[in-house]
Amino acid sequence: MTSQAVPPKRIFPSSKVDARAAEHVPSIPQTESEAYKLAFQDDEFLLREDLRPVRFQLELLKPELLLNEAQIESTFVFYGSARIPAPEMADALIAAATNPDQEKIAERLKAKAKYYEVARELARLASRCGTDNGKRHFVVCSGGGPSIMEAANRGATEEGQESIGLNIVLPHEQLPNRYVTPSLSFQFHYFALRKMHFLLRARAVAVFPGGYGTFDEMFELLTLIQTGKVRPLPILLFGKDYWNRVVNFEAMVEEGVIAPHDLDLIHWTEEAQEAWDYVTEYYREDPSPQPVQSGPPE
């Protein structure tokens, strides 16, 4: 068979071709009806309550395909507060306080500003990892917002590397921080799908002081590992004084709601280099850890 006789790969027109053709349909009552729109171009149809399973699938699939195309094999995930200031902004936060209670809170946030620089440095270390057979590893991934998230994306940018931002639609405006790689900047409607994408490629997770969102993300990950749903991986917890003030981990053991060895899922650290050394040693000793066998969920 000559090259001229090779049949085309596709015998049906692509959806793109038909979508363009649909733009030039003559206007008559039938074609003007919403019912006549191609289903995948009908926004109102896609936003119907009945289409929630389809939207779930789309929100899972879009980042997955784009991250695969970007050859991103694994990620280093950063969790932490959106309110901790960069060190250069900490004094301005205190100056903006209008009463003693606000000033006290601003002082506490200033004390945690050091973690902005720690996150930034850890992201720089992770971003030096390079590639393996064309696949990129330990690509920095954050929630895409300000503060600790910004620091992580900023560190990657300073190393000349791309980084991921997983933003979420909120009642108040939230834009991606300026250090997120535009082609790896994603927006989610469903928190569940966003959290899934945080962990699908994660090989290490750094958790800095944070609020409800950070608690949600960290404790879900701990539960998934505890119950064997996710393979063990380094969970680096920064800010021991903060965490032990807001969560009494030892009391949970004493009360019998978690086992003593469950505390071993956490690695306490304060320094970026120590954290990165721990991660590299973890995978040097066990490059393909298997899920732990555990009892029933607590």
Strands 235-238, 75-79: pairing kind? unpaired
CA distances to 21, 49, 92, 283 from 33, in Å: 17, 21, 56, 58
Confidence of residue 142 (pLDDT cuts 50, 70, 90): very high
Specify the DSSP class assigned to residue 171: S
Question: Structural domain of residue 135, as residue ranges?
Answer: 59-86+114-279
- pLDDT score recorded for residue 290: 46
Decide if 161 is inside a domain.
yes
Residue 1 above 60 pLDDT?
no
Number of domains in the chain: 1
Residue 127 above 90 pLDDT?
yes
246 or 14, which is more confident? 246
- pLDDT score recorded for residue 298: 42
Residue 282 above 90 pLDDT?
yes
Residue 272: give its domain's CATH number.
3.40.50.450
- Determine the Cα–Cα distance for residues 47 and 289; give it in Å rounded to an integer: 41
List b or e across 223-236, with b for residues whose CB sees 16 or more CB atoms inside 10 angstroms. Answer: ebbbeeebebbbbb
Residue 82 above 90 pLDDT?
yes
Decide if 33 is inside a domain.
no
Mean pLDDT of the chain, nearest integer: 91
- pLDDT score recorded for residue 182: 97
Decide if 239 is inside a domain.
yes
Decide if 104 is inside a domain.
no
Query: Mean pLDDT across the stretch 241-263?
Result: 96
77 or 284, which is more confident? 77
Query: Mean pLDDT across the stretch 185-209?
Result: 97
Q: Which of 205, 214, 198 lies closest to 246 in space, CA to CA?
A: 214
Confidence of residue 190 (pLDDT cuts 50, 70, 90): very high
User: pTM of the predicted model, to two decimals?
Assistant: 0.89
pLDDT tens digit string along 28-69? 898 888 898 888 889 999 999 999 999 999 999 999 999 999
CA distances to 13, 235, 258, 259, 262 from 251, in Å: 63, 20, 9, 11, 13
Residue 22 above 90 pLDDT?
no
- Both tokens of 22, joined, read 């649909």
- Both tokens of 230, joined, read 């996710």
- Determine the Cα–Cα distance for residues 150 and 143; give it in Å rounded to an integer: 9
Decide if 289 is inside a domain.
no
